[in-house]
Amino acid sequence: MKKTIYYSERQRFNQWWVWGSAFLGPVLLFLPLLGLILSGASYIVLLLIFILTFWLPIFLYCIHLDTEVNEYGVSVKFRFFHRSWVEFRFHEIESVEACTYKPIKHYGGWGIRYGLKGKAYNVSGNEGVLINFKDGTNILIGSSNHEALQLAIHERLNTNF
């Protein structure tokens, strides 16, 4: 059975300092790596250095946060960290609000984070949707279009109940 998608968003890490540090590593290690190659260092050591430095930008590019609102609820999937969708069903949701937050202060940064304000799924920016559940817990889902996400969830909440 195919789900009806009412909202869909894909976000990637887009902070300049994330990409700067990801590309700075290979640049800074180029000459020492060249020296190791010329000195006849072990291929295992060279392979490990190569993997750790040159594949980091590719790995960061492949990581993304997908968010969907469908007829059953809100779903998130953090590529490379979730095999399947993490689902939050409408019957569990008490309320939802679009908000501006402080990622480092409230959640300790970006990613899948546990902080003073609860759990967060975010990759960039400082805007998102705070979902309050009937059991008293909450989650924050970062969004580059937080008002549209909040509206899609709110409309489905009112339709289902």
State residue 22's pLDDT score: 62
> How far apart, in whole angstroms, are the C-alpha atoms of residue 67 and residue 30?
38
Per DSSP, 144 falls in state T
State residue 159's pLDDT score: 77
Question: Is 49 in contact with 33 (CB distance < 8 Å)?
Answer: yes
Give residue for tokens 């060249």: 34
Per-residue pLDDT of the chain (161 residues; tens, 9 = 90+): 578 999 999 987 665 655 566 666 666 666 676 676 667 767 676 677 777 777 777 777 778 899 999 999 999 998 878 889 999 999 999 999 999 999 889 998 888 999 888 899 998 889 999 999 999 999 999 999 999 999 999 999 987 65
pTM of the model: 0.75
Task: Name the CATH topology of 5-11+64-160.
Answer: PH-domain like (2.30.29)
Question: Is 63 in contact with 12 (CB distance < 8 Å)?
Answer: yes
In the chain, the amino acid numbered 115 is G
Give the tokens for residue 118: 């609860």
Q: Can you give the residue ranges of every domain in the chain?
A: 5-11+64-160, 16-60
Give the tokens for residue 156: 């489905």
State residue 6's pLDDT score: 94
